[in-house]
Amino acid sequence: MRGVHVVMGVRNLSAGARVRDEILKQVPSAKIEILNLDLTSMSSVRRFAENFKALNLPLNILINNAGVCFVPFKLSEDDIELHFATNHIGLFLLTDLLIEKMKVTAIESGKEGRVVMVASVSYSFSYRGGIRFDKTNDESGYNKIFAYGQSKLANILHSNLLSSNLKEQDAKVTVNSLHPGAVVTNIMRHWYFVNGMLSTLGKFFVKGVEQGAATVCYVALHPQVAGVTGKYFVDCNVTELKSHALDMDLAKRLWDFSLNLIH
């Protein structure tokens, strides 16, 4: 509806095609591309970035939204714990591969670029002291709630440091993170009891998908957010973070750790 040419990165191409068709029914003029993207796989992320660049499209907005939640212990194909691999490393690599394109687009189009990181308040569940850098592939002491919270903390730390780095470079690209709120989706499918409660009673207590997308769209598109960077939004308002999510030393350790994993 805003005239944005959307490129959807999806694991399931047939499911993505159904979503595209549903959007086109509502907005026949919508421009939508679908490309395969599995964030658990670094090779898939690299292929997606190559395929996107081959489209020769500008890139003003990058919304890092996809993720997994409360998954039983499992390693990705790159031998990284699945929450950390999907929710952080996949998005870290994707952003790293596309950020130069965003900087160039901002200059050529004269429009500010925006990176939007969808995190959550669950970063508060992360291990005391922040991120356990030495335990990403170790099942001992594994807790799926903490693992999810740790990956969401990583999203916020990544967002904050990337924002700082781009400001130092005087790049015309902002970076913000946000909590979309509790939303009725199937993201809790690995926690059957909670998923059942959400699917039956959730509509009375938590947000629908459209409401859940509101803060994402606000941070990505709204003129009021122009020039705002390095912030955390809840319900379309800037919200204060807990101290460990503002720890720039921890953010730098995470950045270096992540670079080592992707190279």
What token pair was written down for 183? Answer: 């939303």
Is 123 marked active-site?
A: no
| Predicted pLDDT at 258 | 97
Catalytic residue among 142, 192, 218, 232: 142
pLDDT for res 11? 94
Residue whose structure tokens are 């705002």:
228
Structural domains for the chain: 37-262 (3.40.50.720)
Which of 144, 145, 131, 59 shows the shortest CA–CA distance to 94?
A: 59
Can you tell me the distance from the alpha carbon of 180 to that of 178, in angstroms, rounded to the nearest whole number? 6
pLDDT at 182: 56
At residue 180, the 3 state secondary structure works out as coil
Token digits of residue 253 = 């350790």
The pTM assigned to this predicted structure is: 0.88
Q: In which residue ranges of the chain is pLDDT below 50?
A: 184, 188-190, 204
Q: Which of 187, 182, 188 has the alpha carbon at shortest distance from 207?
A: 182
Give me the phi and psi of 51, to 5 degrees please.
-65, -35
| pLDDT at residue 145 in the model | 83
